[in-house]
């Protein structure tokens, strides 16, 4: 297991990523001053996002069904906990975007290679209204169990 995002497990059988990019911003408000550079006031942490890039080879690794499960999670608009396989807890994230590129097609149109970029955006821990509900998690369990079998 490389990482879990809610009930979705990133790994060779689902969607292994080759690169993790984490971006964090901090907010500093500028206050204009006459004859001097603006003064800056620290307002706190800003946006935080994680982008996972990977390549799926459906004959050997996870395939389209894994990306479809992530899209279903995104459609719910819920936040999910993101935990690395090492135990590092990143916080609660929502899916901001999922891009995929298919290539090396078989005669039936099935792709032998699927590249993906998944962008996750962090939300405040105290904003429980965005946290995935138990019902949302239950709805995903059958699909996830099928992918892990």
Question: What is the secondary structure of 44-81 as a DSSP string?
Answer: EEEEEEEEEEEEE-TTTS--HHHHHHHHHHHHHT-BEE
pTM of the model: 0.80
Over residues 74-99, mean pLDDT: 96
Over residues 128-147, mean pLDDT: 56
pLDDT at 128: 61
pLDDT at 86 over 90: yes
Topology of domain 3-148, CATH: Elongation Factor Tu (Ef-tu); domain 3 (2.40.30)
Q: Domain segments of the chain: what residues?
A: 3-148
pLDDT tens, residue by residue, 8-65 = 999 988 999 999 999 999 999 999 999 999 999 999 999 999 999 999 998 888 889 9
pLDDT at 149: 46
Averaged pLDDT score across all residues of the chain: 88
pLDDT at 95 over 80: yes
8-10, strands of its sheet edge to edge: 8-10, 3-5, 80-84, 89-105, 111-123, 36-56, 19-33
């Amino acid at each position: 297991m490389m990482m879990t995002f809610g009930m979705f497990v990133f790994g060779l059988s689902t969607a292994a990523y080759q690169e993790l990019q984490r971006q964090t911003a901090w907010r500093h408000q500028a206050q204009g001053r006459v004859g001097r550079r603006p003064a800056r006031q620290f307002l706190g942490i800003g946006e935080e996002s994680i982008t996972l890039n990977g390549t799926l080879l459906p004959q050997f690794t996870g395939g389209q069904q894994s990306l479809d499960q992530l899209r279903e999670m995104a459609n719910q608009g819920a936040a999910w906990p993101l935990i690395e396989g090492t135990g590092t807890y990143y916080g609660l994230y929502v899916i901001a975007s999922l891009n995929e590129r298919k290539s090396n097609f078989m005669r039936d149109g099935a792709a032998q290679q699927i590249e993906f970029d998944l962008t996750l955006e962090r939300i405040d821990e105290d904003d429980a209204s965005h946290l995935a509900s138990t019902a949302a998690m239950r709805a995903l369990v059958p699909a996830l169990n099928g992918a892990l079998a």
